[in-house]
Chain A
Amino acid sequence: MLIWQSKVYRALSSQAVTDWKRVCRQPFFLRLSTQGSIIQTDELAGDRVRELGIPGTWSGVLQHVRIPFVSYPYEWSFSMLRAAALLHLEILTEAIQAGTILKDASPYNVQFHGARPVFIDIGSFVALTPGEPWIGYRQFCEMMLFPLLLQAYRRIDIQPVLRANLDGISAREFLRSLSWRDMLRPGVFTHGWVQSVLERTSGDSHENTAEALKSSGFGRQLILNNLARLTTLIRRLNWKPPQTQWTDYRHELPHVVADAAAKSGFVQSVCLTGRRQLVWDLGCNDGHFSRIAACNAEYVVAMDQDHGCVERLYRQLASEGSTNILPLCIDLLNPSPAQGWRGRERVRLEERGQPNLVLCLGLIHHLVIAGNIPLPEVVDWLASLNAEVVLEFPSKLDPMVQGLLRNKRDQYEDYSLPFLEATLLKAGFQIRERTDLPSGERTLLYLIPQ
């Protein structure tokens, strides 16, 4: 994959060209591409490749439609990972019926365009060798099935599991988090326990198991049977997000209700000053302000550290078929870093797209008082994004701030509006607009970088 002059290309070897030419004409591929489940892809003619000056010598080059904002499985909510798994199974089922197979089963092969999962790894499609088992089955279990089962059965959040283990978790590690009672739950005994035992007992074998199974009469129907069972299992998985202090936050707290109309109006007036390419809504909660921003923006990334909030927002957006709001589980106190080989495989959050507008509503007191990040540091980080900002500042008399200070020594002498404004100006922001909200203890600022 390479990004050249802001466009996304896939460089192909001669074998990959053969695989591409084969799959791109298959009816299932054309149908899924047309409906948006597989990324739209065009093959570039040789003279066009030379004209573009794409570096390297390749047998072929494909051009993909660019996904507005790249996200990773360790930033997705439960239903997002489930949607990615189901999409993978659906594509694989159709591919196998057409004599094609996916050579791996990584959730990184799926991206989200808003709430819609899209399969992006065109290079995964290869011809199915008769008698060949599903090579990606173990990877599918380790990277998608087991994390989903852990979330559904044990309420172990998928994000830290997948962020710490980029290749997923083995059947053995999966079983360690379960009790004996969980063996009776669908999928655990077969895909977990039996797989773990077989892996352990067959580990010393020197034979080529895939070849041996092929000689024993393994056929594509066996893969299809397994895929059908996995699809049923994953469709039935459910996780009920727990009620946290952030559930129904906007409708229950008196000061939030009092400020709601004025806050929405302020955000809307800022959004109407111009159409933005990319908006970040930090601490998005139920996505109310993301939706306001989305009315006049190409794309909105709605981030919240609360898995339950992101899950509920994703479910709503998915049911509406939304394609311009991407909800992600991001803890700004510990955002996604650069990861993988040499830190180059997975890109850090700030390097995946420059926002034009950042909504920072009901957040700064959590970063400064709950997270102990010095206020000038927060301002410095916002300035580093080089974007316009809508910033909400609750004073120390605000009920939420008082709640955060209740059991703490107040060592936040510089947490005040005058100090914030002075720091913003020093960091290069211009305060274009300032409004005090009706609750009396919150101020909204519209900031422009200089």
Chain B
Amino acid sequence: MTAVVAYLDPGSGSLILQALVGGFSGLVVLGRYLWTHWMTHKAIQPRTELSAEMPVVTHLH
């Protein structure tokens, strides 16, 4: 897969907006994007909470 990079900072919000103004098919893309974004966010969050409760191991034998 080719990485999408540019010398110009396109701005995340401006990129997302392009799906929003792209008509019905754009809304479908936006829906998929938001779903993936939400799922990724959800998958990361519990691990963060768990790590906060874990005891700190100071000695390893």
Contacts and interface: CB of A to CB of B under 8 A. Distances in A.
> Are A and B interaction partners?
yes
Interface of A: 103-104, 129, 131-139, 141, 190-191, 194-203, 205, 207-219, 221-223, 225-226, 229
Interface string B1-34: 0111111111111111111111101101110110
B8 A201 contact: no
B11 A138 contact: yes
A209 B3 contact: no
Given A195-B13, A212-B33, A222 B18 contact: yes
Contacts of B40: 207
Contacts of A213: 15-16, 18-19, 29, 33
B22 A222 contact: yes
Contacts of B25: 219, 221-222
A137 B36 contact: no
30 contacts: A103-B7, A129-B2, A133-B19, A134-B10, A135-B6, A137-B18, A138-B14, A190-B17, A191-B17, A194-B17, A195-B14, A198-B14, A199-B13, A200-B13, A207-B37, A207-B40, A209-B12, A209-B15, A209-B16, A210-B4, A211-B4, A212-B37, A213-B16, A213-B18, A219-B29, A221-B22, A222-B19, A222-B26, A225-B22, A225-B23
A103 B14 contact: no
Contacts of A222: 18-19, 22-23, 25-26, 29
Nearest to A218: B29
B47 to A, nearest CB: 15
B7 A194 contact: no
A208 B15 CA distance: 10
Contacts, number: 120
A181 B22 CA distance: 25
10 A-B pairs closest in CB distance: A198-B13, A222-B22, A199-B13, A138-B14, A216-B32, A210-B4, A202-B12, A216-B33, A209-B12, A135-B6
B12 to A, nearest CB: 4
A136 B22 contact: no
Interface of B: 2-23, 25-26, 28-30, 32-33, 36-37, 40
A199 B14 contact: yes
A333 B56 CA distance: 70
Interface centre among B9, B13, B32, B36 (most CB of A within 10 A): B13
B33 A211 contact: no
Nearest to B35: A216
A211 B15 CA distance: 10
A133 B10 contact: yes
A222 B37 CA distance: 20
A135 B5 CA distance: 9
B37 A214 contact: no
A226 B4 contact: no
B15 A194 contact: no
A229 B10 contact: no
A198 B16 contact: yes
Given A195-B14, A197-B13, A209-B16, A139 B8 contact: yes
Given A221-B25, A222-B23, A223-B18, A215 B12 contact: no
Contacts of A202: 12-13, 16
A69 B10 CA distance: 31
A294 to B, nearest CB: 38
A100 to B, nearest CB: 15
Contacts of B30: 216
A218 B9 CA distance: 19
A216 B16 contact: no
Contacts of A221: 22, 25
A210 B10 contact: yes
Nearest to A139: B8
Nearest to B26: A222
B32 A217 contact: yes
A131 B3 CA distance: 11
Contacts of A200: 13
Nearest to B20: A194
Nearest to B22: A222
B36 A216 contact: yes
Contacts of A199: 11-14
A103 B7 CA distance: 8
Contacts of A219: 25, 29
B8 A135 contact: yes
A223 B21 CA distance: 9
Nearest to A137: B14
Interface centre among B2, B7, B9, B11 (most CB of A within 10 A): B11
A129 B2 CA distance: 8
A226 B14 CA distance: 12
A103 B14 CA distance: 15
